Amino acid sequence: MLSRQISTQRLLLRRFSVEDVQDVYEYANDREWQRFLPVPSPYTLEDAEKFVASTLLRDWSEGPKFAVCLDAKVVGETNIRFSAGHRIGEVGYSIARSLWGRGLVTEATRGVIAESFRVYPQLVRVRAAADAANVGSLRVMEKLGMTHEGTLRSNMFYKGQLSDAAMYAVLRDEWEANA
Ligand SMILES: CC(C)(COP(=O)(O)OP(=O)(O)OC[C@H]1O[C@@H](n2cnc3c(N)ncnc32)[C@H](O)[C@@H]1OP(=O)(O)O)[C@@H](O)C(=O)NCCC(=O)NCCS
């Protein structure tokens, strides 16, 4: 099982707690942050409560979801969901708009992927998907050393419209070669 706390150069990744609701609301109550996510818009305090509750109900061994903390404040989240007996993982991430472009999501997600490859020797592949128009997320996947494996046309539906999903992945040997 992944550790419940991971430290990276600038960040602390840890389990969410009920005290994090206000912090989540602050960064999620932002139309730009919501743009490529299947989340309610407008985003209410109750939505933040439901989100935090859902993270607490997740099975940590199958799908750890970390609160990303900068200077003791929760500013985003990063997660991995395992399948096929921990042979495959899929990561997801987000961070407050005021912090975009500082490499923080790449740093946080890199920490989670590294820990996942370390803890699960059978893990061979970590993938991620993003709306093909989400340029920042495409760049994060590239910086994580992932390869663009293809784009699934009209594969996502949210905010009343269909969009293409860009699929990326990194294999264990590629990750280790880059480490
Ligand atoms: C996408 C997101 C996670 C990126 O987080 P971040 O901390 O800014 O990511 P990083 O700083 O590690 O990397 C972002 C990269 O994209 C680039 N980028 C961001 N927006 C861009 C744009 N519109 N055009 C070109 N490049 C862009 C940045 O310059 C940076 O690249 P660089 O390091 O080579 O300069 C963040 O914007 C976010 O939380 N968005 C809302 C939630 C979301 O969309 N999550 C992803 C769902 S798949």
Helix (H) / strand (E) containing 88: strand 88-95
Instruction: Give the integer Cα–Cα distance in Å for 129 and 168.
Output: 6
Domain span holding position 9: 5-178
Instruction: Give the integer Cα–Cα distance in Å for 14 and 51.
Output: 15
Q: What is the CATH number of the domain that holds 39?
A: 3.40.630.30
The binding-site residues of ligand 1, defined as CB within 6 angstroms of any ligand atom, are: 33, 36-37, 93-95, 100-106, 130, 134-137, 139-140
What's the whole-model pTM score? 0.97
Residue type, 161: Q
pLDDT tens digit string along 6-63?
Answer: 999 999 999 999 999 999 999 999 999 999 999 999 999 999 999 999 999 999 999 9
Q: If you average pLDDT over every residue of the chain, what do you get?
A: 97
At residue 117 the predicted structure's pLDDT band, cuts being 50, 70 and 90, is very high
Rounded to the nearest angstrom, the distance between the alpha carbon of 101 and the centre of ligand 1 is 6
Tell me what pLDDT residue 179 has.
84
Instruction: Give the integer Cα–Cα distance in Å for 138 and 128.
Output: 9
Structure-token pair, residue 106: 């790449």
Q: Indicate which residue's Cα is closest to atom 17 of ligand 1.
A: 136
Please check whether residue 120 is in contact with residue 136, taking contact to mean a CB–CB distance below 8 angstroms: no
Name beta bridge partners: 171: 125
Please check whether residue 76 is in contact with residue 108, taking contact to mean a CB–CB distance below 8 angstroms: yes
Instruction: Give the integer Cα–Cα distance in Å for 144 and 7.
Output: 17
Residue type, 61: S
Give the number of domains in the chain: 1
- 67 φψ region: left (φ > 0), alpha (ψ -120 to 50), beta (else): beta
Q: Indicate which residue's Cα is closest to atom 20 of ligand 1.
A: 136
Instruction: Give the integer Cα–Cα distance in Å for 41 and 43.
Output: 5
Q: Indicate which residue's Cα is closest to atom 42 of ligand 1.
A: 94
Rounded to the nearest angstrom, the distance between the alpha carbon of 64 and the centre of ligand 1 is 22
Spatial strand order in the sheet of 147-158: 5-7, 12-15, 65-70, 73-83, 88-95, 125-131, 161-171, 147-158
